Structure 1
Amino acid sequence: MLKGVLLGFACYAAYAISDAFVKSLHGSLPAYEAVFFGAVLMLLAIPLIRQPGDRWIEVFRARRPSLWWIRAISGAICNVSAVVAFTHLPMAEAFALIFLLPIFVTVLSVIFLKEHVHWRRWSAVIAGFIGVLVVLRPGFRALGVGHLAAMTCGLSGAVSVVALRMAGAHEKRISLYGAGVIGPLVVGLVFMLPGFVWPSAHQWFLLSGYGLLAGAGGVLLMLATQNAPANRVAPTQYSQMLWAIGFGYWLFGDHLDWPMLIGIVLILGSGLFTLVREDKVTPWVRRTKLV
Structure 2
Amino acid sequence: MLKGVLLGFAAFAAYAISDAFVKSLRGAVPAYEAVFIGALLGLAALPFIRSPGDRWRDAFTANRPALWWIRAVSGAISNIGSVTAFTLLPMAEVFSLIFLMPIFVTLLSVLFLKEHVGWRRWTAVVVGFIGVLVVLRPGFRDLGLGHAAAIACGLASAASVVALRLAGPHEKRLSLYGAGMTGPLLIGGALMLPHFVWPNAGEWLLLAGYGLLAALAGVLLMYATLLAPAARVAPTQYSQMLWAIGFGYWLFGDHLDWPMLIGIVLILGAGLFTLVREEKVTPWWRRTKVI
TM-score (norm 2): 0.96
SS in 2 for 1:117: coil
Distance 1:144 1:40 in 2: 29
Deviations 1:179-208 (A, max 9, x none): 000110111111111111100000000000
Match of 2:12 in 1: 12
Separation in 2 of the partners of 1:169 and 1:119?
Answer: 29
Counterpart position of 1:86: 86
- Give, in whole Å, the separation in 1 of the partners of 2:223 and 2:61: 23
Work out the CA distance in 1 between the residues paired with 2:69 and 2:281: 33
Match of 2:32 in 1: 32
Q: Does 1:191 align with 2:191?
A: yes
Gaps of 5+ in 2: 283-291
Q: Alpha-carbon deviation of 1:170?
A: 3.0
* 1:279 maps to amino acid: E
Per the normalisation by structure 1, the TM-score is: 0.96
Structure 2 residue identity aligned to 1:193: L
Give every structure 1 segment of 4 or more consecutive aligned residues whose post-TM-superposition deviation is greater than 3 Å.
none
The 5 Å alignment of 1:96-107 reads 96-107=96-107
**Where does the alignment leave 5 or more consecutive residues of structure 1 unmatched?**
283-291
Given that 2:84 and 2:149 are in contact with CA atoms closer than 8 Å, whether structure 1 keeps it comes out as yes
State the Cα distance separating 1:165 from its structure 2 match.
Answer: 1.5
Distance 2:53 2:255 in 1: 50
Residues 22-81 of structure 1 deviation map (CA, whole Å, 9 limit, x = unaligned)? 000001111111001100100000010000011111111011001010000000000000
Q: 1:279 Cα deviation (Å)?
A: 1.3
SS in 2 for 1:279: helix
- 1:243 matched residue in structure 2: 243
Letter in 1 for 2:61: R
For the 8 Å contact 2:168–2:176, the answer to whether it is kept is no
* Aligned sequence identity (%): 76
Whether the 8 Å contact between 2:69 and 2:179 is mirrored in structure 1 is yes
CA distance in 2, matches of 1:207, 1:82: 14
Task: Name the CA distance, whole Å, in 1 between partners of 2:163 and 2:197.
Answer: 34
- Deviation of residue 281 (structure 1)? 4.2
1:173-188 matched pairs, under 5 angstroms: 173-188=173-188
Corresponding letter in the other structure for 1:109 = S
CA distance in 1, matches of 2:212, 2:168: 28
Shift of 1:105: 0.3
In the aligned structure 1, how far is the partner of 2:3 from the partner of 2:170? Answer: 24
How many residue pairs match? The answer is: 282
**One-letter amino acid of the counterpart of residue 24, structure 1:** S
Distance in 2, Cα, partners of 1:6 & 1:121: 28
Mapped pair 1:256 → 2:256: yes
For 2:56, the equivalent position in structure 1 comes to 56
**Aligned CA-pair RMSD:** 0.9
Question: 2: CA distance between counterparts of 1:160 and 1:93?
Answer: 22
Alpha-carbon separation, structure 2, partners of 1:79 and 1:139: 28
> What does residue 148 of structure 1 align with?
148
Aligned to 1:288: none
| 2:273 corresponds to | 273
CA contact (8 A) 2:32 2:189 kept: yes
Could you say which residue in structure 2 is the equivalent of 1:234? 234
